[in-house]
């Protein structure tokens, strides 16, 4: 070759390698130049510098460098960055090649049977992207897309066009309805002897009926609800089994799946069943309350069936006020502190229970009950605080219930703190006004008790401030000791 590096002994093989590498590098640089033909001058200058650097590294125009024993040049390579292409994020610059863009008929001129398919075709046509930066390219396709989009906007804006987005109706269950209607008439018929029919309407049959409550069709669940209720009333020997089967559905729903479509309908049946319980309540009925009904407050979707659940719970408390103790304990255990809307639901249910509860039950549950009320009164969500304050608008609770003068010594020391803070100046005027009214109510009840609670609250706040100041002073001492330690001679940095 015509290029020789001082101190190197070029051979024919090394020359061929050099020429091949140089041609590959030159070809790559030409490709980069073509791609950056529309780039800025700074980018082209960078490419020229890169080409010069590559020629130098190949040995062109330079006699400096070192050689290894095998005759291959060992030249130091500089760090050269290739110019990056500008990233295009806008859909305006994308361009898709379409096999055929054809004019489609207007939607208004098409039969209703074919209109939905034509609507989909027009949507597919509008999904084609064009390069709008180049005004001269694909003029026909751009005009066609624009006209189609305008037609779609006008069509969807009409009431008739909006029906395209309606989901398909539920499947026809007329055959199933006839079967359910026939069986319902059979069950309620006075000509059917329960002793004879129970050979066929056995426990397995009842279990299968209960499993069908998971159907997604509300019409089917409504028929099943009526049928199961009639079976429960006609076949007395199956009643205990039906309650156990329903409780098993609840167990699986609460502790395993948290998904079942028929919980609300099953609770509606139970509401009628519980209403017919004889007094005193059997142990089996109390276990059903504690193990099956109360845990239904736990699932995240409790709002879907809470109305039916609350009815069943209040039915128990009406039958036996002592059941309020395990009910309130369970509600407190499953209280949804992270969801304000559920807290409002729970407060609604709690108010109904408190109306039915007596002073004997309050003595056993007042600590947990008033602790929850205090936290709700001090909630950051105004709707929770407002709903808790609305309890004092209940005349029965204020005159004869747990919020009355008789129980002021139990509740006021617990709720005074959040009431006082809300009354000073809550951002929501309703909450502020309600808190002031409640404080005034307890001032009228017992002024000495009110002053005692105020002093205890202020003393508690002072202790909290003193504790915070002591902790801050301790941290300052630790920081000063650490800084002094770092300034000592020989301290490691």
Per-residue pLDDT reduced to its tens digit, 447-457: 999 999 999 99
Q: Are the beta carbons of 92 and 131 closer than 8 angstroms?
A: yes
Long-range contacts of 176-184 (CB under 8 A, 24+ apart): 176/220, 177/219, 177/223, 180/220, 180/223, 180/224, 180/227, 181/223, 183/227, 184/223, 184/226, 184/227, 184/230
Identify the DSSP state of 91.
G
Task: Give the distance from CA 218 to its chain's centroid.
Answer: 25
Q: Are the beta carbons of 392 and 398 closer than 8 angstroms?
A: yes
pLDDT in tens, 190-230: 888 888 888 889 999 999 999 999 999 888 999 999 999 99
Q: Which tokens in the block code for residue 31?
A: 């490709």
Cis geometry, peptide bond prior to residue 280 (ω within 30 degrees of 0): yes
Residue linked to tokens 């090649």: 97
Three-state DSSP class for residue 293: helix
Per the confidence metrics, is the pTM higher than 0.75? no
Alpha carbon distance 230, 91 (integer Å): 63
Task: Give the distance from CA 248 to its chain's centroid.
Answer: 28
Low-confidence ranges of the chain (pLDDT < 50): 1-14, 36, 38-44, 46-47, 50, 52-80, 82, 84, 86-100
Contact partners, residue 437, CB within 8 Å, separation at least 6: 392
Alpha carbon distance 180, 173 (integer Å): 10
Q: What is the pLDDT of residue 7?
A: 42
Three-state DSSP class for residue 372: helix
Q: Are the beta carbons of 138 and 131 closer than 8 angstroms?
A: yes
Q: What is the pLDDT of residue 178?
A: 86
Identify the DSSP state of 174.
H
Burial class (CB in 10 A: 0-12, 13-18, 19+), 25: middle
Q: What is the pLDDT of residue 16?
A: 52
DSSP-derived secondary structure for 18-68: HHHHHHHHHHHHHHHHHHTTTS-HHHHHHHHHHHHHHHHHHTTT----EE-
The number of beta carbons lying within 10 Å of the beta carbon of residue 20 is 10
Task: Give the distance from CA 283 to its chain's centroid.
Answer: 39
Q: Are the beta carbons of 372 and 334 closer than 8 angstroms?
A: no
SS3 of 418-448 = HHHHHHHHCCCHHHHHHHHHHHHHHHHHCHH
Alpha carbon distance 348, 391 (integer Å): 9
Outline where DSSP puts E strands in 73-196. Answer: 73-74
- Of the CA atoms within 13 Å of residue 311, those in its CB half-sphere come to 15
Of 213, 276, 277, the residue nearest 248 (C-alpha): 213
């Amino acid at each position: 070759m015509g290029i020789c590096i001082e101190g190197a002994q070029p051979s024919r093989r090394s020359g061929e390698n050099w020429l091949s590498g140089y041609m590959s590098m030159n070809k790559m640089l030409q490709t980069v130049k073509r791609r950056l033909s529309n780039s800025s001058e700074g980018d082209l200058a960078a490419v020229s510098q890169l080409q010069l650097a590559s020629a130098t590294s190949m040995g062109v125009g330079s006699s400096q460098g070192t050689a290894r024993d095998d005759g291959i040049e060992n030249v130091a390579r500089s760090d050269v960055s290739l110019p990056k292409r500008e990233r295009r994020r806008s859909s305006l610059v994308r361009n898709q090649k379409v096999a055929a863009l054809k004019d489609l008929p207007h939607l208004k001129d098409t039969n209703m049977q074919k209109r939905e398919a034509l609507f989909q075709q027009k949507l597919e046509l509008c999904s084609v992207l064009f390069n709008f930066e180049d005004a001269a390219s694909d003029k026909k396709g751009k005009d066609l897309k624009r006209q189609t989009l305008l037609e779609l906007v006008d069509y969807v804006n009409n009431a008739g066009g909006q029906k395209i987005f309606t989901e398909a109706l539920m499947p026809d269950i007329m055959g199933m309805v006839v079967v359910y209607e026939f069986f319902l008439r059979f069950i309620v018929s006075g000509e059917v002897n329960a002793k004879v029919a129970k050979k066929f309407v056995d426990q397995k049959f009842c279990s299968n009926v209960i499993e069908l409550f998971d159907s997604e069709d509300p019409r089917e669940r409504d028929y099943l609800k009526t049928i199961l209720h009639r079976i429960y009333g006609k076949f007395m020997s199956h009643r205990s089994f039906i309650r156990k089967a329903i409780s098993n559905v609840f167990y699986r729903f609460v502790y395993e799946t948290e998904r079942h479509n028929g919980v609300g309908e099953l609770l509606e049946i139970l509401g009628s069943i519980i209403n017919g319980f004889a007094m005193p309540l059997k142990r089996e009925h109390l276990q059903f309350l504690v193990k099956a009904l109360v845990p239904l407050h736990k699932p995240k979707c409790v709002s879907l069936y809470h109305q039916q659940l609350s009815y069943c719970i209040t039915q128990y408390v009406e039958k036996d006020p002592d059941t309020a103790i395990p009910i309130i304990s369970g509600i407190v255990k499953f209280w949804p502190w992270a969801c304000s809307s559920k807290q409002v639901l729970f407060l609604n249910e709690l108010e109904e229970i408190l109306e039915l509860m007596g002073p004997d039950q309050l003595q056993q549950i007042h600590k947990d009950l008033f602790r929850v009320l205090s936290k709700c009164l001090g909630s950051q969500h105004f709707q929770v605080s407002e709903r808790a304050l609305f309890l004092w608008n209940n005349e029965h609770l204020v005159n004869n219930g747990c919020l009355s003068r008789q129980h002021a010594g139990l509740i006021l020391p617990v709720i005074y703190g959040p009431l006082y803070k809300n009354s000073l100046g809550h951002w929501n005027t309703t909450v502020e006004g309600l808190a002031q009214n409640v404080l005034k109510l307890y001032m009228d009840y017992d002024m000495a008790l009110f002053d005692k609670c105020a002093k205890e609250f202020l003393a508690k706040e002072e202790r909290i401030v003193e504790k915070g100041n002591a902790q801050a002073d301790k941290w300052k001492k630790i920081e000063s000791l650490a800084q002094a330690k770092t300034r000592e001679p020989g301290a490691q940095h």
